[in-house]
């Protein structure tokens, strides 16, 4: 990287002693980015911004929130009615959780389609999967805090999952609860964890970016950067594009926060938790529905494994399997653009995730049960059967020889082929 | 090991061995120390003494008519007390053990046949089954029905259909006199 001399003497003084400005310049300005990134590449930076929004709104909520079973529900209602702009802060935090998942899910599907998990970005991908897991734990603990009916019963059902673990399951559940049911000790520790985990995510995002900037961004063609002619600096080109994307996101995000703030929520959560009254139909937040469907797809025992344990294993497995994806899909071609057969199965996979979501939101009875089983089978089949086989049998299309060649239209001055 | 420890730092490979030994020992002590130090923190998340202390509940059964069911709280969980009718006792006894998902004879689950006392928490994922109030659905076996994922319990609180793996738990309890029980 070319030596850069900072004009401001103050900046220079700091930078000589601790090169933060040089570091920021290197990663936010000079960072060589592929020329051909499309809008699907906006979602990483959007996720980062939503994380910051969640942390800021969360800290302001915490100033008014009381983590006690006798006061939690009332303190959230107070935030909504009496605290100045409390309604705004809470609605942004509530809808922010939904938009965080929308953005991150798109970001993940982007990676799945363009093969961003393939060498040399396996570790980058795996850190992403860990971020997803911590995000889920954060959202789950956060949803318990307002201490409504869904908070309480969602927490009861999900923590009870651990009782499926043989031998120690019941002890683990009591340990998680700090008592014999979801109660005050549970609410307290969930608040402590809910405050902590976003900062862990923040640290993980730095590792994610470190891995990214070591091996550089993938791109829609899925081919390597071969030289400077394939790249443009991150600033101003992608900073401005990311800002435009942010504007679009905020239109939707704030649109929901202002005009349909409870669209993603459950009316039952405006009733205070009652340990004696289970709501007729317990559903998790929408972003957990596909996994909830997988959990409930197992209605039969296999050998010594109970249906309950199988459901739990499958649910956690459905996320953990992503960690192994770089070794399940062995096709050397990254981008789905050049994989005619993969493309079909990929879009079926996306569709199948929506089907799982719909199934998860409906009662586990009637035809929903075989449907949940079929879509669970496709979910796992995609990773365990289809991708490994495609890696062997699929005949990919011819790849362009370089990013710049594919991007620069005919008639322009030919770009010198860089030596690899 | 003994050699290397006794020899002075002079010779190269012996110095390596001694260093390795110290390294492994230090690392081991460190790991064990951290593991031991972690325990108080892990155990601090288990139920505290005051949570454990409120672990018994006394119930007066006298006002409960046959056919009536009441709910009391024990350790933060609902306990179902059902004053069973002759027909309900009969139904519970009539079930062949072979037909049960979690085989237990009815008389192993009660102290006095007319009183069924069970923890009212579905053994699947912890919802409260319906059937305590008149008008509630009681499921196919006239006991309790869990709406969350459709578990049907019979008049002995045994799982008969659905995803729950075991019967409703019978809490430890004893008759203090003819019409009073102490749970826990
Ligand atoms: C990864 C980022 C975060 C996510 C995904 C997240 C998610 C959630 C969710 C889903 C809720 C329930 C909203 C509702 O239905 O009322 C919630 C509530 C809450 N969160 Fe967060 N949160 C995040 C960061 C934070 C941070 C950093 C704090 C700081 C202390 C915080 C403090 C709170 C508080 C006090 C509540 C209870 C008030 C309420 O229910 O609105 N959150 N969070
Ligand atoms: S919790 Fe009762 S059936 Fe699942």
Q: What digits encode the pLDDT tens for the residues A214-227? A: 999 999 999 999 99
B76 and chain A in contact, CB less than 8 A:
yes
CA of A40 to the centre of ligand 1 (A): 27
- pLDDT tens profile A52-79: 999 999 999 999 999 999 999 999 999 9
| Beta carbons of A156 and B126 less than 8 Å apart | yes
Where are the alpha helices (H) located in A70-121, listed in sequence order?
Answer: 72-81, 86-114
Average of per-residue pLDDT values in chain A: 93
pLDDT band of residue A138 (cuts 50, 70, 90) is very high
What CATH number corresponds to the domain at position A168?
1.20.810.10
Residue A1 counted as domain residue: no
3-state helix, strand, coil split of chain B in percent (to 5) is 30, 25, 45
CA of A151, closest CA in chain B: separation in Å? 13
B28 & B77 share domain: no
Contact call for residues B119 and B79 (beta carbons, < 8 A): yes
- Whether A30 is catalytic is no
CB distance B125–A364 less than 8 Å? no
Which of the residues A15, A107, A194, A242 is marked catalytic? A242
Ordered DSSP codes for B100-123: -SS---GGGS-SSTTEEEEE-S-T
Q: Are A364 and B150 within 8 A, CB to CB?
A: yes
Task: State the ipTM, two decimals.
Answer: 0.74
A417 assigned to some structural domain:
no
Residues B118 and B42 in one domain: no
Whether residue A187 is contained in a domain is answered as yes
Domain containing A38 equals 27-408
| Residue B143 shares a structural domain with residue B56 | yes
From A35, A64, A213, A272, the catalytic residue? A213
A301-318 mean pLDDT? 88
Q: Are residues B147 and B122 in the same domain?
A: yes
Does residue B70 belong to the interface with chain A, where contact is any CB pair within 8 Å?
no
CATH code, domain carrying B71: 2.102.10.10
In a domain, A96, yes or no: yes
Enclosing domain of residue B5: 1-46
B85 and B174 part of one domain: yes
Q: How many domains, chain A?
A: 1
Stated as kind and residue range, the H or E segment containing A246 is helix A234-259
Q: Are residues B42 and B70 in the same domain?
A: no
Nearest to A179 among B51, B147, B150 (CB): B51
Q: What is the pTM of this model?
A: 0.86
Q: Where does ligand 2 bind, in terms of residues with CB under 6 Å?
A: B 122, 124-127, 146, 148-151, 162-164
Same domain for B71 and B158?
Answer: yes
How close, in Å, is residue B116 to chain A by CA atoms? Answer: 19
C-alpha–C-alpha distance, residues A74 and B146, integer Å: 29
- Residue A76 CA to residue A411 CA, distance in Å, equals 63
CB-defined site of ligand 1, < 6 Å? A 51, 54-55, 58-59, 61-62, 65, 76, 90, 93-94, 97, 100, 135, 138-139, 142-143, 145-146, 194-195, 198, 201
pLDDT band at residue B12 under the 50/70/90 scheme:
low
Q: Are residue B22 and residue B93 in the same domain, yes or no?
A: no
Asked whether residue A188 is domain-assigned, the answer is: yes
Overall domain count for chain B: 2
Same domain, yes or no, for B42 and B78? no
Strand partners, B79: B72, B119
Q: Among B31, B46, B61, which residue terminates a domain?
A: B46
Which structure tokens are listed for A176?
Answer: 């998680």
Is residue A413, in this structure, part of any structural domain at all?
A: no
In this structure, are B99 and B33 located in the same domain? no
How far apart are the C-alpha atoms of B54 and B73, rounded to whole Å?
11
């Amino acid at each position: 990287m070319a030596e850069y001399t900072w004009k401001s003497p103050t900046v220079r003084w700091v930078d000589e002693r601790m090169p933060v400005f040089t570091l920021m310049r290197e990663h936010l300005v000079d960072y060589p980015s592929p020329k051909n990134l499309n809008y699907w590449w906006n979602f990483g930076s959007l996720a980062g911004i939503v994380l910051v929004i969640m942390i800021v709104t969360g800290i302001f909520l915490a100033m008014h929130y009381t983590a006690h079973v006798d006061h939690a529900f009332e303190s959230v209602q107070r935030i909504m009615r009496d605290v100045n702009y409390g309604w705004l802060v809470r609605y942004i935090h509530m809808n922010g959780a939904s938009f965080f998942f929308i953005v991150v899910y798109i970001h993940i599907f982007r990676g799945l389609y363009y093969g961003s998990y393939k060498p040399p970005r396996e570790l980058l991908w795996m850190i992403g999967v860990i971020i997803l897991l911590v995000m889920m734990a954060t959202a789950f603990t956060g949803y318990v805090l307002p201490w409504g009916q869904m908070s309480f019963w969602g927490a009861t059902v999900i923590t009870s999952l651990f009782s499926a673990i043989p031998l120690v399951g019941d002890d683990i559940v009591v340990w998680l609860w700090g008592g014999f049911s979801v109660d005050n000790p549970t609410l307290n520790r969930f608040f402590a964890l809910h405050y902590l985990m976003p900062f862990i995510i923040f640290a993980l995002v730095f590792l994610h970016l470190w891995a990214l900037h070591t091996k550089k961004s993938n791109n829609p063609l899925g081919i390597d950067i071969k030289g400077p002619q394939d790249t443009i600096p991150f600033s101003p080109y992608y900073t401005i594009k990311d800002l435009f994307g942010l504007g679009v996101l905020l239109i939707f995000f704030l649109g929901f926060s202002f005009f349909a703030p409870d669209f993603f929520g459950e009316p039952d959560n405006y009733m205070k938790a009652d340990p004696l009254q289970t709501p007729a139909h317990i559903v998790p937040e929408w972003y957990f529905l596909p996994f909830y469907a997988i959990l409930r797809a197992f209605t039969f025992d296999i050998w010594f494994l109970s249906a309950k344990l199988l459901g739990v294993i499958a649910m956690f497995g459905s996320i953990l399997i992503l960690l192994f994806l770089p070794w399940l899909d062995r096709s050397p071609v990254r981008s789905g653009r050049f994989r005619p057969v993969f493309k079909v199965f990929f879009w079926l996979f996306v569709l199948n995730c929506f089907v799982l979501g719909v199934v998860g939101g409906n009662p586990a009875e009637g035809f929903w049960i075989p449907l949940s089983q079929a879509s669970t089978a496709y979910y796992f089949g995609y990773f365990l059967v289809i991708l490994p086989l495609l890696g062997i049998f699929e005949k990919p299309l011819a790849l362009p020889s370089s990013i710049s060649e594919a991007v620069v239209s005919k008639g322009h001055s030919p770009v010198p082929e860089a030596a690899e | 090991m003994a050699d290397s420890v006794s020899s002075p730092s002079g010779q190269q490979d012996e110095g390596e061995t001694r260093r390795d030994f110290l390294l492994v020992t230090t690392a081991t002590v460190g790991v064990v120390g951290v593991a031991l130090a972690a325990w108080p923190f892990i155990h601090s998340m288990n139920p505290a003494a005051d949570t454990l202390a409120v672990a018994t509940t006394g119930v007066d059964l006298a006002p409960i008519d046959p056919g009536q069911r009441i709910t009391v709280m024990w350790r933060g969980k609902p306990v179902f007390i059902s004053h069973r009718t002759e027909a309900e006792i009969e139904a519970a006894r009539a079930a062949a053990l072979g037909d049960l998902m979690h085989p237990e004879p009815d008389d192993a689950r009660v102290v006095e046949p007319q009183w069924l006392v069970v923890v009212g928490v579905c053994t699947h994922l912890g919802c409260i089954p319906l059937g305590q109030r008149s008008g509630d659905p009681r499921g196919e076996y006239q006991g309790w029905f869990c709406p969350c994922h459709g578990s049907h319990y019979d008049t002995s609180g045994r799982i008969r259909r659905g995803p729950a793996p075991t019967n409703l738990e019978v809490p430890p309890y004893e008759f203090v006199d003819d019409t009073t029980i102490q749970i826990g």
